[in-house]
């Protein structure tokens, strides 16, 4: 079932067009990874797909409803967005940040009730962070903050999660933590669209990949069929070897001139 659909989409800001002629569909229950170099339009595309910025042309539908026809509350009940970074202006607790995800289910001036507080505790328990309910969000590690933002998205009670480079600036261990949680959410029935710079992330968790360059979609399909050495070289401008390890894991390895890899 198609959950998100874009047809003949043009994206940009004001009179500045970044990309046009974009057609894509996101199927329910899948992980789709959006890859491409800096400046290719990934974040602009994501923000247009979820209605944060209007399309310059074409259409976007969510659950067959035009995104431009939905109010902010209606969009928040259909799509949960996890940005690259989040710096709260006040020293909120973890519980406060996750409670922000319940706003779509509250009236304009309504205060959170017992059910909302229970939902916050439940989603933090779901990701193993209930013990941090009253912790200062600003004092958490980068990986912990990113997990809290995912919890905030889960508190919206949508089935479509859009993650904009959720592993950016995270260390290796925290990247693995976020990817593992992403895969677990997909197994639980969530639909996930995420951008990333790392082909290995797509090989690890994606059902489908979209490869972008200069505001255009160059390729789309299963990771191993789409993220070939030739395609990655074309997009990133460097020689890349795509290898399958004995474990069956596929990885992309940049070929750095003048540097030999030692084996064993």
CATH of the domain at 10: 3.40.50.300
Output the pLDDT for position 196: 93
Number of domains in the chain: 1
How many Cα atoms are found within 13 Å in the side-chain-facing hemisphere of 213? 11
Output the pLDDT for position 32: 97
- Would you say residue 40 lies in a domain? yes
Q: What is the pLDDT of residues 4-55, one digit of tens each?
A: 999 999 999 988 999 999 999 999 999 999 999 988 899 999 999 999 999 9
pLDDT mean over 155-181: 90
Output the pLDDT for position 261: 55
- Would you say residue 33 lies in a domain? yes
pLDDT band for position 256 (cuts 50, 70, 90): confident
pLDDT mean over 132-147: 91
Contacts 24+ apart (CB under 8 A), 14-20: 17/56, 17/215, 18/44, 18/215, 19/44, 19/45, 19/212, 19/215, 19/216, 20/56, 20/57, 20/58, 20/215
Quick one: what percent of the chain has pLDDT higher than 70?
94
Supply the pTM of this predicted model: 0.89
- What tokens does 56 get? 């310059």
Q: Judge whether 101 and 124 are in contact, CB under 8 Å.
A: no
Q: Is 131 exposed, middle or buried (0-12, 13-18, 19+ CB in 10 A)?
A: exposed
Output the pLDDT for position 110: 77
- Would you say residue 165 lies in a domain? yes
Output the pLDDT for position 258: 59
Q: What ranges make up the beta strands (E) of 157-260?
A: 160-164, 191-196, 208-213, 216-221, 240-244, 250-254
Assess whether pLDDT exceeds 70 at residue 114. yes
Select the more confidently predicted residue: 199 or 15: 199
Q: Judge whether 70 and 231 are in contact, CB under 8 Å.
A: no
Q: How far is CA 69 from the centre of its chain?
A: 23
Phi and psi, residue 183, nearest 5°: -65, -40
Q: What is the pLDDT of residues 58-69, one digit of tens each?
A: 999 999 999 999
Range of the domain at 92: 2-254
pLDDT mean over 174-198: 92
pLDDT mean over 140-162: 91
Output the pLDDT for position 104: 84
Assess whether pLDDT exceeds 60 at residue 250. yes
pLDDT mean over 221-239: 94
- Beta strand 2-13 with 16-27: parallel, antiparallel or unpaired? antiparallel
Assess whether pLDDT exceeds 60 at residue 254. yes
Phi and psi, residue 91, nearest 5°: -75, 75
* Mean pLDDT score of the chain: 90
- Would you say residue 262 lies in a domain? no
DSSP state, residue 56? S
Greatest alpha-carbon pair distance for the chain in Å reads 63
Assess whether pLDDT exceeds 80 at residue 126. yes
pLDDT band for position 262 (cuts 50, 70, 90): low
Output the pLDDT for position 259: 57
Output the pLDDT for position 65: 94
Q: At what angle do helices 114-126 and 142-155 cross, to 10 degrees?
A: 130
pLDDT mean over 113-136: 93
Output the pLDDT for position 111: 86
- Would you say residue 161 lies in a domain? yes
DSSP state, residue 1? -
């Amino acid at each position: 079932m198609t959950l998100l659909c874009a047809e003949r989409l043009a994206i940009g800001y004001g009179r500045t067009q970044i990309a046009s002629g974009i057609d894509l569909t996101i199927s329910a229950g899948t992980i789709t990874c959006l890859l491409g170099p800096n400046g290719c339009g990934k974040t602009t595309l994501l923000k247009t797909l979820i209605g944060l910025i209007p399309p310059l042309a074409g259409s976007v539908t969510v659950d067959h409803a035009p995104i431009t026809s939905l109010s902010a509350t209606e969009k928040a009940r259909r799509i949960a967005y996890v940005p690259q970074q989040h710096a709260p202006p006040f020293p909120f607790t973890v519980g406060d940040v996750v409670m922000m995800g319940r706003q779509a289910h509250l009236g304009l001036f309504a205060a959170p009730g017992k059910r909302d507080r229970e939902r916050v505790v439940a989603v933090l328990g779901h990701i193993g962070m209930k013990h941090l309910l009253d912790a200062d969000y600003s004092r958490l590690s980068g990986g912990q903050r990113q997990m809290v933002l995912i919890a905030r998205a889960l508190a919206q009670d949508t089935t479509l999660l859009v993650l904009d480079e959720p592993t950016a600036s995270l260390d290796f261990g925290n990247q693995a933590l976020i990817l593992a949680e992403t895969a677990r959410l997909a197994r639980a029935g969530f639909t996930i669209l995420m951008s990333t710079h790392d082909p290995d992330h797509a090989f690890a968790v994606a059902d489908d990949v979209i490869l972008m360059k200069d505001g255009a979609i160059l390729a789309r399909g299963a990771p191993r069929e789409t993220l070939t050495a030739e395609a990655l070289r074309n997009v990133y401008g460097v020689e890349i070897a795509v290898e399958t390890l004995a474990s069956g894991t596929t990885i992309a390895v940049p070929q750095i001139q003048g540097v030999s890899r030692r084996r064993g």
